[in-house]
Chain A
Amino acid sequence: MRRPLGLDVVETQANSELSPQKSAEIAEQLRTRYGDELDGIYDALSYTALGAASAKTPDFAPVIVTYGGGAETNEAIADGRFTAAIDVLNPLIGRAKAWVVCQRLAGEELPGTMEVPFLIVDESNVAEMPTDAEQLKADVDFEALVDADGNRIAYNGITLPELAGGAAK
């Protein structure tokens, strides 16, 4: 994994239980060891990151970034427990996968590999995120795009917010 510029990764821990409780325990240990010198925590599961966020105190308020997304994650971003999340739009991706299968069953040609879009969500765009129900029920036309940007699935018919930070990808 390429080391992110400007970041010094001081510790990596495995949440062997995949539980918020274990994340809380790990975050509390980080609080004891690093205190306010720790700038941020990246928890690879938004579900367990809620546990890490519970360790925040007035004296220990690291940036918490996570991966996954969903209603609880958006809620935590809105109220400040999380700083940002990489939202993989699970309901929409599920539908896209089903669409790909149907296309192949119908004999359509599709590229061997395709990228699926994701969003970086923070307080600037969290209010515009479609809910899980909207992602499930929106009348979306999926489209396989093959162009200079690569092979990817486009979601036409659902409004997604601009990527947080304005990055292009």
Chain B
Amino acid sequence: MTTQVRTLESAPRALAQRAASLDLGKYGGVMIGLVAMVVFLALTQQGFLAPGNIMNILHTNAALLVCSVGMTFVVLLGGFDLSVGAFLALGGVILAKLVEGGLPPLAAIALVLLGGLVASLLTNAGLIAFLGLNFFVVTIATNALFGGLALVVSDGRTVSLYDDAFIVGLGTGTFAGVPLTVIVAVSVAIVAGLILRQTGFGRMIYAVGGNAEAARLSGINVIAVRVVAYLLCSACAVLAGIVMASRLQSASPTMGAGIALMAAAAVLLGGTSFLGGEGGILGTVIGVLFLGVLSNGLTLVGVSGFWQGVITGAVLLGAITSDWLRSRLALRTRRSPQS
């Protein structure tokens, strides 16, 4: 009898635990918002659910998804990378210059990715992980550094990629009706998700993000984990630059403007805590979809482009508040069994 009462009393807790294991608590708010937006737009905007429009949303946000996936790694560590926009722009511009110079596009892509990794190792990854410098200060500096380099390399101009069939094909081609850029972005998200969920390195990221000192004492090489996370973030930013340049069939030194904050917004909306140690790629994908549908929907509804920024900002403030509420509730839930 006593056991039965205990079971009944603990049922809500068990449900909560099950929900938590499915990350419903993290994604619940943004999922409800996303579904509500989709239902509203489907009912009020003819053509919102048209396959062409759905593909537009995915195509438009492919680069943001790649960038946000990379950002997820460093946010899970309790860090942040303000320089992803500069890495993105520099990657796109160097790719365009290399292709313009006659290098085969695949070789140029490989070279740009490699260059991005080296640049990150010497700056973000090296300075933050090895020297322990503040990630905001370092990435503000590298944002200026690589953003400036993008201007130098391009001479401040937009470099055309219109003549390269491979790049144009990557940016405009489809496979089974799905844009290639979307396939690339989803593939990156799947691989990142597998890394985080199925590998020891993924578990180390959560451990370091949750409590770096405890992770170090348990034998995890915290510096190496941080280096790899920042390298992955930069590599994703450069890849996002390649995706964006191929989509626009050109690369400009300013094309990464604003993407760092959008990526951070997507990661935050997706339930990854800015304190680190909590969240994941699925949430980031949902966050990107949320922002993509919001932007698409506001344009369809006819909201002025200027008001779109105001609304997006308000939504993000709501997300930050809900993140704070969620962490407070989680803290209370953890404390309550002892009381």
Chain A contacts to B: CB under 8 angstroms: 13-17, 19-22, 24-26, 28-29, 31-33, 47, 50-51, 53-54, 57, 70-72, 75-76, 79, 81
Contacts and interface: CB of A to CB of B under 8 A. Distances in A.
A50 B250 contact: yes
Contact of B59 (A14, A28, A33, A47): A28
Instruction: For the complex of A and B, list the 8 residue pairs with the smallest distance between their C-beta atoms, beginning with the closest.
Output: A14-B305, A16-B305, A32-B52, A28-B56, A72-B158, A25-B60, A32-B53, A54-B248
Given A16-B304, A19-B258, A54-B247, 7 more contacts: A16-B305, A16-B306, A21-B255, A24-B248, A50-B250, A72-B157, A75-B160
19 contacts: A19-B257, A20-B252, A25-B60, A25-B295, A33-B47, A47-B252, A50-B248, A50-B250, A54-B171, A54-B172, A54-B247, A54-B250, A71-B157, A72-B160, A72-B250, A76-B160, A79-B162, A79-B163, A81-B162
A16 B308 contact: yes
A54 B53 contact: no
A21 B248 contact: yes
Interface string B47-87: 10010110010011001000000000000000000000000
B249 interface: yes
A13 B56 contact: no
B309 interface: yes
Contact of A24 (B50, B60, B157, B305): B60
A34 to B, nearest CB: 10
A32 B255 contact: no
B248 A20 contact: yes
Contacts of A50: 158, 160, 248-250, 252
A71 to B, nearest CB: 6
Query: Looking at chain B's contact residues, is the secondary structure mostly helix, strand, loop, or mixed?
Result: helix
Interface residues of B, number: 34
Given A16-B308, A75-B160, A21 B56 contact: no
Interface in B266-312: 295-296, 299-300, 304-306, 308-309
Nearest to B158: A72
A41 to B, nearest CB: 14
Contacts of B162: 76, 79, 81
A25 B52 CA distance: 12
A82 to B, nearest CB: 11
Contacts of B300: 29
B93 interface: no
A26 B304 CA distance: 12
B155 to A, nearest CB: 10
Given A24-B60, A29-B300, A79-B163, A17 B258 contact: yes
Given A14-B304, A25-B60, A54-B249, A32 B50 contact: yes
